């Protein structure tokens, strides 16, 4: 689906370039379904990630934007041609861990093995260095900041694994809202974007929040960050979020159903508008020292 050009499309080119990211996992791998879908059953479930990524790549090409695809090792191993196509079209591949295990469920050795295996596998497949990492369900926070040290030790340059909000599943409310140095300065942590309302950080960087809040609010919030905070935004979504026809899981609670299925039929159209209303690029281009003009910003230290 291709929309007409937004009234703001000419203005956006002069503004801050934001980071566009995709968490490449299938509908049955989300944390919300951990208690409902056994990992041993993944192999027999119908996979829809390839078709959804095809639609995403077509949308990105139509808008002339590049993005970062945080990819599960489990997915890359089974769909190598898809991953090679992502790279071939100029996008960045980064690590999302091997099979979407939250860091809160891992000890240091398990985490090290997970990120080392995933990084090596993605590098072998793509022939490119893997710089970035995003934890499953943003599961790095105050209790396991040691994970950032391990990411630096294993050769990662940046992470996008912390959300500075209160949430029942994740969040580190006291973390900086914008990119900061961690691991003794050897790693850049780039939190997903929030906007301050009533003294609280409100998520506006994608995912279920993007489907929950009206599009006008999301656009206003991202503009606040660009124009008032003078900072690039980090936006994320999943391939399954543009797939309203995905198999429905039985026996899940109301909260889980709402979080996962709300407004799936509107997501593609909202993304279409979002790509017109703002400037977008890869994480490494926006935030790494050799990747673009915004890398010259001085990140906040982690206090």
* Domain assignment of residue 115, yes or no: yes
* Domain assignment of residue 220, yes or no: yes
Tell me what pLDDT residue 41 has. 86
Domain limits at 177?
19-297
Tell me what pLDDT residue 92 has. 98
Residue 6: which pLDDT band, with cuts at 50, 70 and 90?
A: very low
* Domain assignment of residue 179, yes or no: yes
pLDDT in tens, 104-156: 999 999 999 999 999 999 999 999 999 999 999 999 999 999 999 999 999 99
**Distances in whole angstroms, Cα of residue 9 to Cα of each of 2, 97, 151, 230:** 14, 35, 37, 19
Tell me what pLDDT residue 33 has. 66
* Domain assignment of residue 6, yes or no: no
* Domain assignment of residue 11, yes or no: no
Tell me what pLDDT residue 131 has. 98
Among 1-5, 16-20, 185-189, name the one with the lowest average pLDDT.
1-5
Please state the domain count of the chain: 1
- Cβ burial of 275 (10 Å; 0-12, 13-18, 19+) is buried
Tell me what pLDDT residue 52 has. 97
* Domain assignment of residue 4, yes or no: no
Mean pLDDT of 171-177: 92
DSSP H helical ranges for 163-263: 208-212, 215-227, 254-261
Q: Is the pLDDT of residue 302 over 70?
A: no
Q: Is the pLDDT of residue 87 over 60?
A: yes
Instruction: Specify whether the CB–CB gap between 216 and 224 falls below 8 A.
Output: no
| Residue 173, domain CATH | 3.20.20.370
Tell me what pLDDT residue 169 has. 66
* Domain assignment of residue 31, yes or no: yes
């Amino acid at each position: 689906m291709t929309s007409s050009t937004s009234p703001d499309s000419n203005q956006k080119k002069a503004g801050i370039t934001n980071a566009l990211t995709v968490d490449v996992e299938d509908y049955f791998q989300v944390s919300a379904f951990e208690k409902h879908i056994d990992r041993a059953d993944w192999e027999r479930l119908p996979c829809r990630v390839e078709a959804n990524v095809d639609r995403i790549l077509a949308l990105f090409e139509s808008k002339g934007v590049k993005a970062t695809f945080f990819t599960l090792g489990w997915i890359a191993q089974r769909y190598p041609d898809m991953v090679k196509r992502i790279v071939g079209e100029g996008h960045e591949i980064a690590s999302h861990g091997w099979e979407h295990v939250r860091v809160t469920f891992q000890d240091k050795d398990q985490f090290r093995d997970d990120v080392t295996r995933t990084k090596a596998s993605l590098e072998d497949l793509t022939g490119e260095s893997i710089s970035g990492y995003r934890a499953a369900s943003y599961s790095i926070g105050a209790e396991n900041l040691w994970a950032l040290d391990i990411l630096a030790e294993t050769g990662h340059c940046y992470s996008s694994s912390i959300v500075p909000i209160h949430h029942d599943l994740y969040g580190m409310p006291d973390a900086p809202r914008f990119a900061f140095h961690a691991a003794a300065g050897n790693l850049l942590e780039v939190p997903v974007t929030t906007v301050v309302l009533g003294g609280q950080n409100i998520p506006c960087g994608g995912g279920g929040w993007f489907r929950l809040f009206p599009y006008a609010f999301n656009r206003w919030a991202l503009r606040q960050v660009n124009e008032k905070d003078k900072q690039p935004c980090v936006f994320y979504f999943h391939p399954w979020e543009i797939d309203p026809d995905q198999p429905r899981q039985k026996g899940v609670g109301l909260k889980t159903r709402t979080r996962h299925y709300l407004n799936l039929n509107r997501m593609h159209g909202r993304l279409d508008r979002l790509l017109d209303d703002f400037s977008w690029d890869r994480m490494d281009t926006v935030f790494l020292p050799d990747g673009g003009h915004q890398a010259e910003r001085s990140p906040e230290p982690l206090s």
